[in-house]
């Protein structure tokens, strides 16, 4: 069944996990919501927003979903209609925390009484509290991945995959920011809302949600800056290693140049000075070799090599 309903203390919660003709009939005929809101509900993913009417408000929110198999961050859209004594939530896509909170309220009498102890707005707060705080699993995942990358960069484990891992994690953070950034203003408006159909003390509860969203966005900003710094350190270390390799190859090439030149000269089929005196020729080679090795020893002692 697409519509699940819980009723307690004259407060009713309809949860729609799949939009169909039956649920649309409920929205249009029984509650007579504005046609633009019905259009938003039927359409594709909307940006987070809150629209306030005379006797209800319409809310669009998004919650991140981490696909651990692929590493992608997707989202679930939740459309909400909230009135004095009713709450309607419309879930677009599968989202386990939403299912868990619904069945917990349905099956636990004590938990249901606690959630329905005030008004419909308080029920919405209890639902949003669970959904938003479930995102801590993703922020913890990002923190763990960042620590692993940090150990790679500052340890001896830098490899060709380190930069790729930094890019992948940065992508996850940017995807999370795309979900949370538009909601900052929405949740702030919700925490400062003044209507005839919702009690004023409800703002305190939504302010708690607002604080949590701020913490998540600040966390994402911090992680983004840390990743940027790690990428700069990684690039510097890789450049240093590359320069060192090039330096060694250059020194080796220059060191071999006199010997190569001398062997090339005495390899020509012409009469050259001392060409008939093998000992002298080998002595020249040995002298050059000693000079080269001595120069390399001095450079090594001065830490130039």
pLDDT of res. 132: 92
Nearest to 84 by CA among 202, 182, 170: 202
pLDDT of res. 282: 66
Mean pLDDT of 196-213: 88
Q: How far apart are CA 195 and CA 85, in angstroms?
A: 14
pLDDT of res. 69: 73
Confidence class of residue 111 from pLDDT cuts 50, 70 and 90? very high
Confidence class of residue 112 from pLDDT cuts 50, 70 and 90? very high
Tokens 């940017």, residue located? 174
3-239: what CATH class?
alpha beta
pLDDT of res. 284: 66
Confidence class of residue 45 from pLDDT cuts 50, 70 and 90? low
Confidence class of residue 166 from pLDDT cuts 50, 70 and 90? confident
Chain centroid offset of residue 265 CA = 64
Are 223 and 141 in contact, with CB atoms under 8 Å apart? no
Q: How far apart are CA 192 and CA 195, in angstroms?
A: 10
Which of the residue ranges 80-94, 252-266, 284-298 would you say has the lowest mean pLDDT? 252-266
Q: How far apart are CA 205 and CA 207, in angstroms?
A: 5
Structure tokens at 236: 């510097």
Q: Over the stretch 124-147, which tens digit does the pLDDT of each residue have?
A: 999 999 999 889 989 999 999 999
pLDDT of res. 262: 61
Q: How far apart are CA 204 and CA 105, in angstroms?
A: 22
Where are the domains positioned within the chain? 3-239, 247-301
* pLDDT beyond 80 at 120: yes
Q: Over the stretch 82-92, which tens digit does the pLDDT of each residue have?
A: 999 999 999 98
Torsion of Cα atoms, 66 then 72 then 75 then 76, to 10°: -60
Are 197 and 55 in contact, with CB atoms under 8 Å apart? yes
pLDDT of res. 11: 93
Q: How far apart are CA 192 and CA 208, in angstroms?
A: 12
pLDDT of res. 295: 66
| Three-class DSSP category at 90 | strand
Which of the residue ranges 42-56, 187-201, 228-242 would you say has the lowest mean pLDDT? 228-242
Structure tokens at 22: 């039956």
Write down the pTM of the prediction. 0.77
């Amino acid at each position: 069944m697409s519509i699940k309903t819980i009723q307690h203390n004259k407060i009713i919660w309809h949860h729609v996990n799949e939009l169909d003709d039956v649920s649309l009939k409920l929205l249009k005929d029984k509650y007579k919501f504005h046609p633009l809101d019905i259009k938003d509900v039927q359409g594709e993913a909307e940006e987070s927003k809150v629209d306030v009417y005379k006797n209800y408000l319409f809310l669009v929110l998004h919650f991140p979903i981490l696909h651990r198999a692929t590493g992608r961050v997707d989202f679930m859209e939740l459309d909400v209609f909230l009135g004095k004594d009713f709450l309607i939530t419309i879930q677009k896509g599968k989202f386990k925390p939403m299912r868990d909170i619904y069945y917990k309220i349905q099956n636990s009498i004590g938990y249901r009484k606690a959630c329905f102890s005030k008004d419909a707005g308080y029920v919405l707060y209890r639902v949003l509290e669970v959904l938003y705080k479930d995102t801590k699993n993703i922020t913890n995942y990002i923190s763990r991945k960042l620590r692993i990358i940090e150990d790679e960069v500052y340890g001896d484990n830098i490899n060709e995959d380190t930069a790729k891992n930094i890019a992948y994690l940065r992508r996850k953070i940017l995807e999370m920011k795309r979900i949370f950034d538009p909601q900052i203003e929405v949740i702030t408006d919700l925490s400062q809302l003044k209507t005839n159909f919702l009690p004023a003390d409800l703002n305190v509860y939504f302010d708690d949600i607002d604080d949590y969203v701020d913490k998540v966005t600040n966390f994402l900003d911090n992680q983004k800056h840390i990743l940027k710094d790690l990428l700069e350190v990684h690039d510097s270390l890789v450049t240093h290693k590359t320069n060192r390799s090039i330096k060694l190859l250059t020194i080796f090439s220059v060191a071999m140049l006199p010997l190569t030149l001398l062997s090339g000269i005495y390899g020509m089929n012409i009469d050259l000075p001392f060409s008939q005196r093998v000992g002298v020729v080998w002595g020249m080679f040995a002298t050059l070799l000693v000079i080269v090795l001595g120069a390399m020893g001095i450079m090594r002692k001065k830490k130039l090599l």
